[in-house]
Amino acid sequence: MVTTRFTQRYIVALSLVAGLTICGQFLIHRQLDGQTSDAYVLNYAGRQRFQSQQIVKDALLMTSQVIPAASVDGLAQTQRQILARWERFHQELMSGHLTDLGLTIPNSPAIQALFQQADPHFRAIRDQAHHLLTLANRPIRDSRAEQAAVQIILEHDTLFLHQMDAIVRQYSREAEHKIERLRTIENWLLMITLVVLVLEALLIFGPAVRMIRKAVDRLTAANQQAEQTNKALQRTNRSLKLAQQQLMHETALRHKQQLTEQRIRLSAVVQGQEEERRRLSRELHDGIGQMLTGAKLLSENVRSIDQLTPADQTTFGKLRTLLVRIIQETRHVSNNLMPPVLSDFGLLAALRLFAENQHEQTGIEVSFQTKLIDIRFNPAVEIGLYRIAQEAVNNATKHANASRISVSLNWRGEQLQLRVHDDGCGFQYAFPATIHSQGLHNMRERAKLLDGNFRLLTRLQAGTTVQVSVPTGVATRSVMHSIAAITQIT
């Protein structure tokens, strides 16, 4: 009962300290947010002063007799933009809704009164500025009307600037009042926290120390009793050994489960890589590819090439050729990352197009044979088999010195079999570390993720065959078990 009472006191004291700390942090963060908002408002008000002066300067330039008509049109266009922004900022400051920053800051009565005093000057400047823009659009300039409008703007601009200065000062004073109020609250919270800590020391820690001393005495006495029970513990040692064996068995099972989970996570990583490749391919095609094509079209529409020097014409021709090569290379990279035909028309069409592209790019005879017609497989199987075929064909074209490569995809009993064969130089499989071991590792791991079998048949000067077999159930299933398991785990 005593420990329960002390525990309750300790919980109450800690709760008070935690509550006061949280309250202080909340007030500080709220004040910081308010200070940020106040800074934005001050910036808005300062920009109003600057834009007002810009409007006056442009009005003076527009009415100057030494400015040509073309420059007056440009100044009028600039004046319209600044005037629209100036009017919008003024209305937002008056209402407290800053749309550019997504903030809503209610104005105090003092601020509202200052804005009401500045509003007539604002309206006078706005109306005369619009009147000047109307006069600037007329074919014949009315110097007297322009000078009258400028005079009114100058008279009200000084008063408007004084009012804006007063508004800025009022904003600053209100921000300082907020800070002083926060300091007062923080001081009170600090005093209350110190009082709570002192009471905690007097009512909790002091009695607790005395209880601990008594507990030590009891523990000393219990130590003697523990020595007597030591013999009993020795008798239970044999039962502990039995439990240890059982634990080792459970550890082995857990290790097996971890391997399974690791395989599931690896499948998720592969799927994420394919999604990233698809995204990069789409961005290359829709972004950089479109811009490069636009640049090529622009270069083709240049009609003054004949006016260039022969050296510049040669450089321009090289530029066109370089643009065409960059576009081709971008399309090639985008297609290698994730060919659209794979997701749109399936594995058969993707492998057929891949074989044709490899033949065109390398000059090596690459063929694709299949007896399947218009069939779609599990998306994960289609991507996995396509990547395996891509890796195998690339290895053959780069390292095997092959003249003929055949890719086939067919049913073999209860399995879907992918076979890639080349008539290249082959290699000694006993030393795979020197022959693209990373590529072979990737193909083997992808086959495992599909619950398939991976076989590599090769001999020196006898070519190489890569063969992957995937069970029918996995190939035709819409979603793999591993992906479902990943969804459940995450």
pLDDT in tens, the chain (490 residues): 656 776 776 787 778 777 777 877 776 666 655 556 667 777 777 777 778 877 888 777 777 766 666 677 777 788 888 888 888 888 888 887 877 767 777 788 888 888 888 888 888 888 888 888 887 777 776 778 878 888 888 888 888 888 888 888 888 888 788 788 878 887 888 888 888 778 877 777 777 777 788 888 888 888 888 888 888 878 888 888 888 888 888 888 888 777 666 666 655 655 666 665 666 656 555 566 566 666 666 666 665 566 667 777 677 777 777 777 776 666 666 666 667 777 778 888 888 988 888 888 888 999 999 998 878 888 888 888 988 998 899 888 888 888 899 999 999 888 999 999 998 888 776 544 444 467 788 888 888 888 889 999 888 877 899 999 999 887 776 543 433 333 333 3
Q: How far apart are CA 453 and CA 445, in angstroms?
A: 10
Q: Which of 352, 333, 332 is nearest to 342 (CA)?
A: 352
Residue 26 neighbours by CB under 8 Å, 6+ apart: none
| Cβ atoms < 10 Å from Cβ of 455 | 13
DSSP H helices in 107-142 = 109-136
State the Cα–Cα distance between residues 455 and 470, nearest whole angstrom: 12
| CA 109 – CA 91 distance, rounded (Å) | 16
Q: Looking at residue 14, what is its pLDDT?
A: 75
* Cα–Cα distance, 193 to 187 (Å, whole number): 10
Q: Is 358 exposed, middle or buried (0-12, 13-18, 19+ CB in 10 A)?
A: buried
> By 3-state DSSP, what share of the chain in percent is helix, strand and coil, each rounded to 5?
75, 10, 15
pLDDT of residue 468: 93
Question: pTM, whole model, 2 decimals?
Answer: 0.41
Report which DSSP code applies to 106: P
C-alpha span between 149 and 127 (Å, rounded)? 9
Q: 29 phi and psi, to 5 degrees?
A: -65, -40
CB atoms within 10 A of CB 349: 14
- Amino acid type, 345: F
Check residue 43 and give its pLDDT.
76
Q: How far apart are the first and last CA of the chain?
A: 45
Q: What is the pLDDT of residue 461?
A: 79
Q: Which residues pair with 456 in a beta bridge?
A: 466
What is the pLDDT, as a whole number, of residue 407? 93
Q: Are 221 and 35 in contact (CB under 8 A)?
A: no
- The alpha carbon of 141 is separated from its chain's Cα centroid by a whole number of angstroms, namely 56
C-alpha pair distances (Å), 90 with each of 298, 389, 392, 477: 44, 65, 68, 63
3-state secondary structure of 302: coil
As a whole number of angstroms, the distance between CA 49 and CA 238 comes to: 89
Single-letter amino acid code for the residue at 396: A
Q: What is the pLDDT of residue 220?
A: 85
Predicted confidence at residue 483, as pLDDT, reads 39
- Identify the DSSP state of 98: E
Query: Rounded to an integer, what distance in angstroms lies between the CA atom of residue 406 and that of residue 410?
Result: 13
DSSP state of 464: E
- Cβ within 8 Å of residue 421, ≥6 positions away: 405, 406, 463, 464, 465, 466
